[in-house]
Amino acid sequence: MKLEEFSDIIHRCFRCGYCKFTYDYADFNCPSYKNFRFETFSTGGRMWLIYALMNNEINWSQRLANILYSCTTCGNCMENCRFDKFNDFLVDIIEIARIEAVKNGFCPEKQKSLLERTLNPEFYNPYGELNSDNQLLKEQYALPETAEWVYFIGCTSNYRQKDLRDATLRFLKKTNINFTLIDEHCCTSPLIRTGQTESVKEIMEYNIDQIKATRAQKVVTSCAGCCRTLKVDFQKHDIDMDVEVYHTSELVNELLEKGKIKFGSNFNKTITYHDPCHLGRHMGLYEIPREVINKIPCVELNEMKRNRENSWCCGAGGGVKIGYPDWAVNVSKERLEEAKKTGADMVVSTCPFCKTNLKDANENFDMDLEIIDLIEIIDSLELKLD
């Protein structure tokens, strides 16, 4: 859907303000509005700015671009907007407006580096790390050239959260999953979120070709952003995946439900669970990670006040981590303060991007919490195979 086709939808935004709150109005739940405290930085405010742009009532400027880009695209607005006919499109509208910002030369400089690094043949990832074709990992774990599953690692796990990556690899090996790895390039999520979409389809097709070469029927990823992109954005860009896409929590839960694995050791910790926006609000996967957690012997799960569809964002998404790093960490600080109130000493999530930003806040503000991914807990347990 093109920007022009959203005109009537945007005009129906009555600026009621519901998009800024949790469903029960207990707190502001839009990170951007809560930080800037100006209506322009709410979704409703952005809708009217976009509408004015479409009608040539205002012109592009760097100030306007910064307003559009200072949104984590967490999706709280989609959950709490009361107008069912268009609330599913709110994040899409902001992302398409960012495409127009790029076309008009107003993509912020820091976000531009995401595209430059991803297209660089030495990197193919937004972190600017030398590209890993994953061949050494394939050799280390004795992985075949063809398999039933592909583990799509994702850039953050492969270049920043390697403990999470390695825990996933060990779990897949221990459970005898027939899997392999590919020479993957960025899934394109950072480019889509920042409106830099010109090369997205080409990158997607490259990754699909790599997956098809393995003859895999299923893809599993430990990254919420990759999972959302592979499941949702590939379809939006008319890419035929023709394979099933799983998040690791879904695979773990399926193995538990079918009795193929059982936990053979205890995890004596009090934890709280942070819902990643891409896994939760964008894909509706709230209960499956919790089902896995509740099957772990001796774990105590204490929920934060804002959870599931009303979760507070970690602050890292939508290009905010690279564009506004100090603000991104402050958003995570608020999440950790909420976690502290549960009495938990460990915050568990299911996304390497969330883990990164929550850890940064934990260290910057001496919050004295342990930040870990669910698959790392699973990897630490003794597994009994049927």
What CATH number does the domain containing 121 carry? 3.40.50.1860
Same domain, 166 and 183: yes
Indicate the pLDDT class of residue 262, thresholds 50, 70 and 90.
very high
pLDDT at 235: 92
Query: Mean of the pLDDT values across residues 38-44?
Result: 94
Q: What is the pTM of this model?
A: 0.96
Helices in the chain by DSSP H: which ranges? Answer: 7-11, 31-36, 43-54, 62-69, 76-80, 90-103, 109-119, 135-140, 155-159, 162-174, 189-193, 200-213, 224-228, 234-236, 248-257, 287-295, 320-323, 325-340, 352-364, 374-380
Number of domains in the chain: 3
User: Which residue among 54, 87, 107 closes a domain?
Assistant: 107
- Token pair recorded at residue 18: 């519901």
Q: What is the mean pLDDT of the chain?
A: 95
Same domain, 222 and 176: yes
Query: Residues 247, 285: contact at Cβ < 8 Å?
Result: yes
User: Which residue among 225, 255, 285 closes a domain?
Assistant: 255
Same domain, 100 and 124: no
Its domain, for residue 299, covers 263-385
Indicate the pLDDT class of residue 147, thresholds 50, 70 and 90.
very high
Query: Residues 172, 380: contact at Cβ < 8 Å?
Result: no
Task: Write the pLDDT tens digit of every residue in 54-66.
Answer: 999 999 999 999 9
User: Which residue among 232, 255, 278 closes a domain?
Assistant: 255
- Asked if residue 4 has pLDDT above 80, the reply is no
Q: Which helix (H) or strand (E) holds 271?
A: strand 270-273
3-state secondary structure 322-378: HHCHHHHHHHHHHHHHHHHCCCCCEEEECCHHHHHHHHHHHHHCCCCCEEEEHHHHH
Same domain, 287 and 211: no
